[in-house]
């Protein structure tokens, strides 16, 4: 090893398994290739575990009732206002009246915000 001191070599041997070669090289102010060379001479292997990207799975056997989502239409009938808005109205209610009431309420909230922003 031409450019690696004994101290640097010991550092590489100690931390090669848990750090990247680039990081070790930056810490020791040497090139990445020298780190790889020392690792190869000493037959070092990486011990870094891959990052888990999977989400934990639900245990369906413990609470079967909680895993089933409630029916969104159980309390009423869905009424589509526009492409992005759907409301649930009680069964037997007049859909047109409920739609107008909903739009009036939304317009009141929007106009109240506009008024407060003008001050």
86 phi and psi angles, rounded to 5 deg:
-135, 130
Among candidate residues 77, 6, 66, the one with its CA nearest the CA of residue 42 = 6
Tens digits of residue pLDDT in 61-89: 665 555 556 665 567 777 788 888 888 88
pLDDT of the residue at 2: 58
Residues whose CB is less than 8 angstroms from the CB of residue 80 and which lie 6 or more positions away in sequence, other chains included: 86
Q: Which tops the pLDDT comparison, 37 or 61? A: 37
pLDDT of residue 112: 61
Q: What is the average pLDDT across 52-69?
A: 61
Rg (C-alpha) for the chain, rounded Å, is: 32
pLDDT at 107: 84
Return mean pLDDT, the chain: 77
The percent of residues above 90 in pLDDT, for the chain, comes to: 14
Please, which pLDDT band fits residue 10 given cuts at 50, 70 and 90? very high
């Amino acid at each position: 090893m031409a450019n690696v001191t004994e101290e640097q070599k010991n550092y590489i041997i100690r931390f090669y398994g848990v750090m990247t070669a680039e990081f070790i090289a930056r810490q020791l102010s040497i090139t990445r290739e020298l780190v790889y060379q020392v690792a190869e001479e000493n037959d070092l292997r990486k011990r870094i575990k891959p990052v888990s990207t999977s989400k934990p799975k639900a245990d369906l056997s413990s609470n079967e009732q909680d895993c089933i989502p409630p029916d969104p239409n159980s309390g009423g009938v869905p009424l589509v206002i526009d492409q992005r808005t759907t409301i649930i109205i009680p069964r037997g209610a007049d859909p047109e009246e409920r739609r107008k009431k909903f739009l009036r309420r939304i317009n009141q909230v929007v106009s109240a915000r506009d008024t407060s922003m003008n001050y």
